Amino acid sequence: MTEPTVLILMGSDSDLSTMEETTKVLSEFGVPYEIHVSSAHRSPVKTAKLASEAAGRGIQVIIAAAGMAAHLAGVIAAETTLPVIGVPMTGGALNGVDALYAMVQMPGGIPVGTMAIGKAGAKNAGLFAVQILSLAAPELRAKLVSYKTKMAEEVEQKDQALQVSRRG
């Protein structure tokens, strides 16, 4: 089995249904990953260890999903020099807006690339990780080109179907 290059951390197991969007993308591109539940608040020692040891284990990108206070991505970013991608989860009193603000308002020096709230953000986190990895992997770059070409073709097919139905 190929060693993982992407580490996905979730603050809660309730985030899994959303983060499956990330795992689908990584699997589609053949990118090996590992996934864990680890909370910045409830299991800080485990979280720090996963983040600080990731590079030494061959991880190249970390994706962190959390809701509400959403400190997970920032705690991870403080423990590593690897790129960290944050995915704010829906829920809580502000339906994910609080998590989004927590991730995008990191202090200077501790960057977290932050995606949209929820499933779209989880999918884009996977794609962004693939884009980062593709800088050193031409085969991934080629798969990204094919992926974008396929998306454009699907849009064109939908437009053609629309045009036919409007004429009819």
Task: For the full predicted model, state whether its pTM sits above 0.75.
Answer: yes
To the question of whether residue 42 is assigned a binding role by annotation, the answer is: yes
Percent of the chain clearing pLDDT 90 (strictly above): 95
Q: Which fold has domain 6-136?
A: Rossmann fold (3.40.50)
Structure confidence at residue 1 as a pLDDT band (50, 70, 90): low
Per-residue pLDDT of 149-168, as tens digits, reads 999 999 999 999 999 999 87
CA atoms of 51 and 133, how far apart (whole Å): 18
Per-residue pLDDT of 27-84, as tens digits, reads 999 999 999 999 999 999 999 999 999 999 999 999 999 999 889 999 999 999 999 9
To the question of whether residue 14 is assigned a binding role by annotation, the answer is: no
To the question of whether residue 52 is assigned a binding role by annotation, the answer is: no
